Amino acid sequence: MKKAKILMALLALVSFSANAQQDAQFTQYMYNTININPAYAGSRGSLSIFGLHRTQWAGLDGAPTTNAFSVNTPLGNSKLGLGVSFLNDAVGVMDENTISVDLSYTIDLNDRGSKLSFGLKGSANLLNVEYSKLLTYNPNDPNFQSDIQSQFTPNIGAGVYWHNERTYLGLSAPNFLTTTRYDDNIQSTMQQKMHFYFMGGHVIEINPTLKFKPAFLLKAVNGAPLQADITANFLIHDRFTVGGAYRLDAAWSGLVGFQITDGLFIGYSYDGETTKLANYSNGSHEVFLRFELFNKYRRVNSPRFF
C-alpha cells in the first residue's frame, strides 16, 4: 500500500510539473539570479563561475534532480555583460538539458552607485523521455512505444535588473514563447508556458560585524498559484551566512554559507516539506559553489552580497 501511495504522489508531482510550473526550482535563488534574469550578467563586475546541485524530495523514486552551471562576466570596460549557462533538470523518466546565452546592457543612473541593466536571453532545450523504462499496464499501448530523444525547442526571454550597493530588484521572463515540447497527435508531453519572476533583496548593517539580508522571489505562470519565496539571512564578519526561508504553502528551509576566500563562496540549504509530501520524502538538499576572478573593482564591494 505504501508503494502505491508513493507512486500516486509521484504521478501527481509529474502532472503538476507538466501542466503548471515547469521551470527548475531553487532555494538559494539570490545566488543563481542569472538562471532566471539575463540582465544580471556581468553585474558583479567580475568573471563569476557558478555551479549548483539540487536533490528534491530525497528518498522518493523518480523525484526531481537539478544541476546548474553558469559563467558570466562584464565585457571589458564597456557597459555590456555576457553569460552562458547550462541546466539539467530530471524527473522520473524525463530529462531536459538547456543551454542559454545572456547579454546585458547597464546604465549608470547616478553617482551613488545605482545601476539599471537590461538583458536578453536565448536558449536551446533538448528533451528526452524514456518511456521504455516505465512499467505499463498494457505493453502495447501506442502512447509508450517510442522514446523521445533530444527533442529540440528554442526560446527567448528578457529581464531588467536594478541595484546599488545595498539593494536589488529584478523583473524577468526567461521564456517568452509558449511551446509544446512534444506532440505527434498521439501523445503530447509538457507545454512550456511563460513564467514571470519578480525578486528583490536588501542588506541592512546591524553593526560592523553583523548584516541582515532579507530577500524575496515571486514566480507567476498561467494555470498555477503564485509561488512566493521569502528568505532572511544573517552575514557574520563578512564570511559566514546563516538563515532561513519559507516557500508559501510548500516548504521551509535552512541555509548556510561560507566565504572561504575573497573569490570563493560555498553554500548549502535544506528544505523541509509542509505538505503531505513530508510523509514520503526526506526533504530537499541544495549545494552550490561560486568562484570569482578578475574583479574590475579589485574587490567585492561590501556590503553588496548578491
Question: 96-136, pLDDT tens digit by residue?
Answer: 999 999 999 999 998 888 999 999 999 999 988 877 777 66
Backbone Cα Rg of the chain:
20
Strand 115-129 and strand 148-163: pairing?
antiparallel
Residues in the chain, pLDDT under 50 = 1-21, 185-186, 298-303
Interatomic CA distance for residues 302 and 113, integer angstroms: 13
pTM: 0.85
> So what's the pLDDT on residue 260?
94
What pLDDT, on the 0 to 100 scale, is given for residue 80? Answer: 97
What are the grid coordinates assigned to 15, written together? Answer: 502532472
Q: What is the mean pLDDT of the chain?
A: 84
Question: Which grid coordinates are listed for 236?
Answer: 557574520
- Contact yes or no for 148/163 (Cβ under 8 A): no
Per DSSP, 172 falls in state: E
d(CA 3, CA 84): 41
Locus of grid cell 519578480: 198
- Position 304 scores a pLDDT of 54
Note the pLDDT of residue 267.
Answer: 96
Of the CA atoms within 13 Å of residue 291, those in its CB half-sphere come to: 5
pLDDT for res 16 = 40
**Which element (helix H / strand E) includes 271?**
strand 264-273
Work out the end-to-end distance of the chain between its first and last CA atoms, rounded to an integer number of angstroms: 46
Q: CA 15 to CA 185: how far, in whole Å?
A: 19
Report the helix count and the strand count for the chain, using DSSP H and E.
Answer: 1, 17
CB 172 within 8 A of CB 197: yes
Residue 104 · residue 80 · CB < 8 Å: yes
CA torsion sign for 53, 267, 170, 16 is: positive
Nearest residue to 21 (alpha-carbon basis) of 198, 225, 165? 225
Block residue for cell numbers 523514486 = 61
Residue 125 in grid coordinates = 532545450
What structural domains and CATH numbers belong to the chain? 35-293 (2.40.160.40)
Alpha helix segments (H runs only) across the chain: 2-19
Pick from 33, 23, 34, 30: which is nearest to 64 by CA? 23
